[in-house]
Structure 1
Amino acid sequence: MADIFEPDRVITVRRRCDAPQGAATSFLQEGPRLLLGYGTADTLQAMFHDFFTPNSLPLLEDAIALVRDYCEISGLSQARMRLEQIRGDSCRRFHVDNVGLRMLCTYVGPGTEWVPPVLALGQNREDINAETIRRIRTGDVAILKGSAWSGVGLKGVLHRSPPLSGRPEDERIRLLLTIDEPAACGMAGECNPTVRR
Structure 2
Amino acid sequence: MSACPTRHQLLSHSAFREILSPERTITVHSQGLATSLRRALESYRVSGARLIMAQGALETIRNNLAEAFTDETLPLLADMIELATRYQEVSGRQALRVRLEKVTTDSCRKFHVDCVGLRLLRTYDGPGVEWTADGGLNIHQAPDGAVVFLKGKHFPGWSEATSVHHRSPRLSVLPSEKRYRLLLTIDEAGACGASMDSPVMIAA
TM norm structure 2: 0.86
**RMSD of aligned alpha carbons:** 1.6
Maintained 8 Å contact 1:112/1:135: yes
2:190/2:196 contact within 8 Å kept? no
Are residue 97 (structure 1) and residue 114 (structure 2) matched? yes
Distance, in Å, in 1 between the alignment partners of 2:87 and 2:43 is 25
Residue 135 of structure 1 corresponds to 141
Residues 60-81 of structure 1: per-residue CA shift (max 9 Å, x gap): 0000100000011000112101
Give the equivalent residue in structure 1 for 2:27. 12
Q: Name the structure 1 match of 2:199.
A: 192
Is the 1:101–1:146 Cα contact (8 Å) retained in structure 2? yes
CA offsets 1:67-121 (integer angstroms, 9 cap, x no match): 0000110001121011000000011111110111000000010000011x2x23x
Measure how far apart 1:8 and its partner are.
1.6
Gaps of 5+ in 2: 1-15
Quick one: which of 147, 156, 177 aligns to 1:170?
177
Secondary structure of the residue aligned to 2:169 is: coil
| Deviating more after overlay: 186-195 vs 52-61 | 186-195
1:8-56 deviation line (CA, Å, top 9, x unaligned):
2110112111352221221121111000121122111110111111111
Q: Structure 1 residues 13 and 176 mapped into 2: Cα distance closer, same or farther (>3 Å)?
A: same
Alignment of 1:1-197 (within 5 A): 1-18=16-33, 20-115=37-132, 117=133, 119-120=134-135, 128-129=136-137, 132-151=138-157, 156-197=163-204
Q: Which amino acid aligns with 1:175?
A: L
Q: Is the 8 A contact 2:96 2:186 kept in 1?
A: yes
Secondary structure of 1:55's counterpart equals: helix
Cα distance in structure 2, aligned partners of 1:21 and 1:155: 36
Deviates more, 1:62-71 or 1:7-16: 7-16
1:191 Cα deviation after fit: 4.3
- Give the alignment's TM-score, normalised by structure 1: 0.89
Distance in 1 of aligned mates of 2:107 and 2:158: 31
- How far residue 172 of structure 1 moved from its aligned partner, in angstroms, is 0.2
Higher RCO, 1 vs 2 (CA within 8 Å, ≥6 residues apart): 1
Write the distance in 1 (CA, Å) between the matches of 2:32 and 2:67.
Answer: 27
Report sequence identity in percent.
42
In the other structure, the counterpart of 2:11 is none
State the one-letter code of the partner of 2:131.
W
- Measure the CA separation in 1 of the matches of 2:44 and 2:59: 20
Distance in 1 between residues matched to 2:115 and 2:194, nearest whole Å: 13
